[in-house]
Chains A and B, each alone.
Chain A
Amino acid sequence: MKLIYSRPRSLKRTPFHYCPGCGHSVAHRLICEVIDELRLQDRTIGIPPPGCSVFAYNYFDVDMAESAHGRGAAVATGIKRAYPEITVFTYQGDGDLAGIGTAETIHAANRGENITIIFINNAVYGMTGGQMAPTTLRGMKTTTTPYGRDHVLEGHPIRMSEILAMLDGVAYIERVAVNSPANIRRAKKAISKAFQMQLENRGFSMVEILSPCPTNWKMTPVQAWKWIDVEMTRVFPLGVFKDVTEKNSAD
């Protein structure tokens, strides 16, 4: 018998605490598969944020250190500047990266810090109970936009991948989703490429993952997957926003 599928080495044998249909567990697994394939388990530090994924440190079998809310890119900067031989990735939500940590994220990208960010966009603050996030869609109901997000009062969903792709320090940015087998395969490819950028010292890399949150969206997992395709990708289109290796090959 041939073993074709098993738990990645760098994923601990700990049951996930995430809700049914949540995208975190899929994203975790993909990162662990990439860490295994690139043989990085013993030379990686992961930085989880406050939020549902604060417990990521219980699942990744690599050195992990928790960051203050939004400061992942600054913490990763400190790590990488002090210890350039280590591979460092942050795992950040939309409130973390696009709200309280916007400055840290943009400036780390602009400096071209040689770090990798996995950005989970599920359009809500999950752990605190489903409040409006910077990425909440217009008209979307959350506990702090009970009548739907009104862009006149509450602004528009912010597109971080598009914003960051404008910065010269950025090596690679792609937006993917984890709502179908095909998208999950593409997401893994993107994560692998982001880590490779760091290994090749090319600068800042980020993968934005559109990730279902059925609990706070008040949907079934299947409805949530469909909602990503039908609603979310209209505001957050999937695709590569920057890739310095593509540019070089085109030159």
Chain B
Amino acid sequence: MTKVLMDGNSAIAEAAIRAGLRCYFGYPITPQNELTEYMAAHLSRRKGCAFVQAESEVAAINMVYGASLVGARAMTSSSSPGISLKQEGISYLAACELPAVIVNMQRGGPGLGSIAASQADYFQATRGGGHGDYRTIVLGPSSVQELADITMRAFDLADKYKIPVVILGDGVLGQMKEPVEFKREAPEEPPIREDALRGARGRPSKIVKTFTSNPSELEEINWSLFRRYALIKKNETTYDKFMTDDARLVVVAYGIAARIARGAIKTLRAEGLKVGLFRPITLWPFPDEQIREISKLVKHFLVFELNMGQMIEDVQMALAGQGEVAFYGRPGGVIPTPNEVGRVMSRLYYQKGLK
């Protein structure tokens, strides 16, 4: 298959269409508009498919809920402030065990913030995000190719576990162009989930609801969700390692931060410093056992994020004291260079006497 040069936002859109997307609902917000515009140009023309520019983020996520109810692969995308508005709908999707894919191309916050790339929404994404006791699968791609691959995987995971899946990108990943290869062809007509609400034909009528006046019934629903979450953690946790085998210092970073760290690691390796990278791909479920495994050989970790330190809490919990954890981050949409991160790594390396 041939590679095409494409920006990350458009690559997600094309990958979603090839994954059998039937309905996309969105609302304009920078830096993810290319995704919405690609859907308007391409999805709207496909047989059986629908594109709607909604009146709000709240409406868009509730349209996703409606489309998912009747068995369609459905998606919405936004950036940080818009994702806050979608949390109501995500909570309902989680409660009703409905699959959906939600893309967050993060920008600087809090508030309206900036339109520059950021990783400020890690807490919101990995802790559920809305009200109630639930999780979503959260995927953190770090290249345009991985955006495309992960989008296809997101739809499969959503259907398999009946759960909303969040693709946690950022403004840089959305905007930058890289060669990308799409590993699937779009189906003639997108699939319909068989267990969906399709009208009570040949079977008794069905109810999809979240409300119950019986707390014990709701407790059982929560137990059932968390049994499934345990299964997801067991089966679907993914990560990537780069030069960790002999490393004395391991950087833990995801998404665009991991790309920056990787550049720094290559330079430091050329100078003889044994540094490596551990990159969680599923941010929830977090690969904590895999980090704990590495800590048998490495005792020094540097968590690098484009925020003031959010994923570091997961790393510390994973290590449970088995290693020293340092942090470097730039919030607000500021993107450090590989040189800047390299200097932080090298200083830590010498301070800890790892040379």
Contacts and interface: CB of A to CB of B under 8 A. Distances in A.
A67 B67 CA distance: 13
Interface in B219-248: none
B85 to A, nearest CB: 12
B330 to A, nearest CB: 36
A57 B206 CA distance: 9
B67 A79 contact: yes
A165 to B, nearest CB: 19
B197 interface: yes
Interface in B49-94: 50, 52, 54-56, 58-60, 62-72, 74, 88-89, 92
B148 to A, nearest CB: 24
Interface in B13-45: 22-23, 25
Interface in B336-354: none
Q: Could you say which interface size class chain B belongs to? A: 35 or more
A115 B63 CA distance: 13
B74 A82 contact: yes
Interface in B195-234: 197-202, 205-211
Contacts of A106: 55
A41 B204 CA distance: 11
Contact of B52 (A45, A54, A61, A77): A77
Given A71-B59, A74-B54, A103-B59, A82 B66 contact: yes
Contacts of B60: 74
A244 interface: no
B198 A78 contact: no
Interface string A161-174: 00000000000000
B336 to A, nearest CB: 40
B70 A86 contact: yes
Contacts of B63: 74-75, 77-78, 81
Contacts of B23: 78, 81-82
A61 B199 CA distance: 10
A75 B50 CA distance: 14
B211 A83 contact: no
Nearest to A64: B207
Contact of B201 (A42, A79, A83, A103): A42
Contacts of B70: 45, 79, 82-83, 86
Contacts of A86: 70, 198-199
Interface string A77-121: 111111100100000000000000001101100010000000000
10 contacts: A41-B200, A42-B200, A43-B199, A45-B197, A74-B63, A78-B62, A79-B67, A81-B63, A82-B74, A103-B56
Interface of B: 22-23, 25, 50, 52, 54-56, 58-60, 62-72, 74, 88-89, 92, 96, 197-202, 205-211
Q: For the complex of A and B, list the 7 residue pairs with the smallest distance between their C-beta atoms, beginning with the closest.
A: A78-B66, A78-B63, A74-B62, A107-B55, A81-B50, A82-B67, A82-B72
